[in-house]
Structure 1
Amino acid sequence: MKKTVCFAITVGVALLTFSCTKNPDTPDTEAGNWVRRGTLDGPARSGAVSFVINDTAYIGTGFNQNVQTYKNEHGDDLIKNGFLRDFWKLNMPPVSEGNTQENYTWTQVEELPGPNGFRAYAVGFNIGNIGYVGTGMSADRYTMLKDFYAFDGTKWEQKADFPGSPRQYAVGFGFGSRGYITTGDDGANTQKDNYQYNPEDNSWRAVTALSGTKRQGASVFVHKNKAYVFGGYSSFDKVTDMWAMDSATLKWEYKGNLINELDDSRDDDYTDICRQYGSAFVIGDYGYYTAGDNRGILISSTWRYDFANNQWARRTPLERAARTKALGFSVHNRGFVGTGATGSQAMDDFQEFMPNQTVDAAD
């Protein structure tokens, strides 16, 4: 669906807060390099969703108060009160072709349907080669959503509603033949319940709730047969515990706090891992965590999580503008971060993290 109209007005974006501290004496280690990979053809945005199907990344929905009018080729609105419903797929080479923005282009696909297609702060994930989107905040700015949709790369189909309370800032992930939605904010409470979606019969069931602290604005790594949920905040306070769910047993295993040392010694050199609305992706046997905010202060520090040894290590900070509520995704075993917001300015750029390169600020 081709966009035809897009122009801006100026409105601010508020950031929610929680508390964590950073030791200013700890230098960032310049291990790895961030490389520009072009910009989204559609409007800039924060609070969008992404999923990967058939080795192709798709992104959509989100919020940009600065865009007043935006329509598809049929004249249908793609934005309402700042909330978007458009979707795009990323065209890219399967392997990195050096430090270039060429050959990274976007193709607009069918927008999320229905009167509540306009949304932000939803969840997106894939089960096999089908992408799913659900929950989030509607364009009226106060109604939480629980409707749920599947996308096959061409068309959307509405599925059974999420059975938990309508919510925003939840975590969604898929592994094996099932999908999951957990945590989030339903307007009355922060949650840690957990529901499993079965695409074979279009059904949901409650499964073991997340152990530890309830939270919203959390992040997730999916690696092999486990999903690792961490970060976020609860009642405007930091959430530092990390938990991994096994896809076979559906049980949660405590993985420690978000620090480098996992014994009784707590080193505050590492507490700047703590954040809300961070961006996460996986490359090989490591997870990477960057961007987000802390007490409304934007964070650029990047951390690598070693799944085998259950340890964090500092890596090169995200380059270009610091941001929160940005996308993080992996495709072709490569990690990308893009969109998000810095203050009142929504972002549309994308960067790839090259873990084995030496940092080069000119890339």
Structure 2
Amino acid sequence: MNVFERLFLLLLTMFSVTMVSCKEDDDIIPDDDDTEDCLMGKWYRISDFDGVPRSDVASFTIGDYGYLVCGFDGTSRLSDFWEYDMDRDTWTQKANFPGAARNSGVAMAVDGKGYFGTGYDGSNKLDDFWEYDPAANSWTQRADFPGGARYDAVAFGVDGKGYVGCGYDGSFLKDFYVFDPDTDSWEQLYFDGCKRSGASAFVIDDKAYICCGLNNGVYADDFWRFNPSTGIWTQLRNISDTSEESYDDEYAIARVSAATFVIDGSAYLTCGESGSLCTDTWKYSPSTDLWENVAKFKGVSRKAQASFSNGKRGFVLAGMSGLIRFDDVWEFHPDEYDKDDY
């Protein structure tokens, strides 16, 4: 073999290694030039939920514990309540929810306690509201939600107060209310966005964000940030391709019943339904107000699932696809690559 043939073989080998570098080794993070077809992030299936499979379940997080309450198993509304230890990957059943068994309620955490209310019991829409104390493992009924009975509302807790709004009561809604646990009282808060049910919310740096949902048959594509210190809503970039700029050319984020969680100051949105069930996952960066497509959800496509995160780890679980309900649990690792996505 002459020197030119040897040089050609060397160059060919180097080219082949470069082309497969991001496909053959999960532990290698490729150079920027090699990531054009690589989606960041990797999903891991972890210990299954110990309760029965379900959808339309509410969830909240306190510290390193995620909580699931109520839901629908395809036959019955449920009232059981579960705690997930993120460090030990174990489930513990806690005190049952004492109100009516239901699905499609809302939940959030405020100052170390959980709050849950609204929903549907199979016959009636509901407006009751409850507090869970993890130290005492007990529930206490608080002042009813003043906006009226509804389900598929959206909620978040921030800056010592809880917020509940939107949803469906026979019509799509956009009203919003703030709950003060210290006074057990509600105050109406004006929301600038469109009506919606099945919306998604997350909190980053003491500011809340709302997106997605369904508004009279149309998937909402407006996106809002709420500052509790000023009480002002700010509209951000739409979550679909609605501008003349190129940043949103690939946006396909708008959907209903999506899961959201926060890891290291970025939000992640996955699953849900937009004409069909979704597995694509999107990462939101508040500093740029831009979304990036990351590794798709590895479980069966679904909607009406639950999610929780402690700011460092994010989980998606339960949900439904057609008549099937799920009890699997998935954790997302944002800094890894999954070769199956290339």
Q: Quote the RMSD (CA, aligned, Å).
A: 1.8
2:184 to 182, 202, 205: 202
Residues 130 and 139, structure 2, Cα contact 8 Å, conserved in 1:
yes
Specify the alignment match of 1:335 in structure 2.
314
Structure 1 pair 151/361, CA: closer, same or farther in 2 (3 Å)?
farther
1:320 to 299, 317, 320: 299
1:233 offset after TM fit, Å? 1.1
Q: Deviations over 1:11-48 (max 9, x none)?
A: xxxxxxxxxxxxxxxx9742100011111111011110
Partners of 2:62 and 2:201 in 1: how far apart? 18
Paired AA for residue 81 in structure 2? F
Matched, 1:239 2:188: no
Partners of 1:48 and 1:292 in 2: how far apart? 14
Partners of 1:337 and 1:199 in 2: how far apart? 28
TM-score computed with the length of structure 2 as normaliser = 0.85
Structure 1 pair 113/34, CA: closer, same or farther in 2 (3 Å)?
same
1:284 offset after TM fit, Å? 1.2
Specify the alignment match of 2:277 in structure 1.
298
1:267 offset after TM fit, Å? 7.0
Matched, 1:349 2:328: yes
Paired AA for residue 316 in structure 1? A
The number of residues matched between the two structures is: 304
Residues 28 and 314, structure 1, Cα contact 8 Å, conserved in 2:
no
1:271 offset after TM fit, Å? 3.6
1:144 to 125, 131, 140: 125
1:9-158 map, 5 Å: 29-66=38-75, 82-93=76-87, 103-114=88-99, 116=100, 118-140=101-123, 143-153=124-134, 154-158=137-141
1:49 offset after TM fit, Å? 0.7
Specify the alignment match of 1:214 in structure 2.
195
TM-score computed with the length of structure 1 as normaliser = 0.80
List runs of 5+ in structure 1 lacking aligned partners: 1-26, 67-81, 94-102
Paired AA for residue 194 in structure 2? T
Partners of 2:290 and 2:280 in 1: how far apart? 16
Moved more, 323-332 or 174-183: 323-332
Specify the alignment match of 2:20 in structure 1.
none
Q: Which has the higher contact order (CA 8 A, sep 6+)?
A: 1
Residues 304 and 314, structure 1, Cα contact 8 Å, conserved in 2:
yes
Partners of 1:29 and 1:218 in 2: how far apart? 29
1:60 offset after TM fit, Å? 1.6
Paired AA for residue 108 in structure 1? Q
Specify the alignment match of 1:73 in structure 2.
none
Partners of 1:332 and 1:272 in 2: how far apart? 25
1:272 offset after TM fit, Å? 1.9
| Greater helix proportion | 2
Partners of 1:328 and 1:242 in 2: how far apart? 20
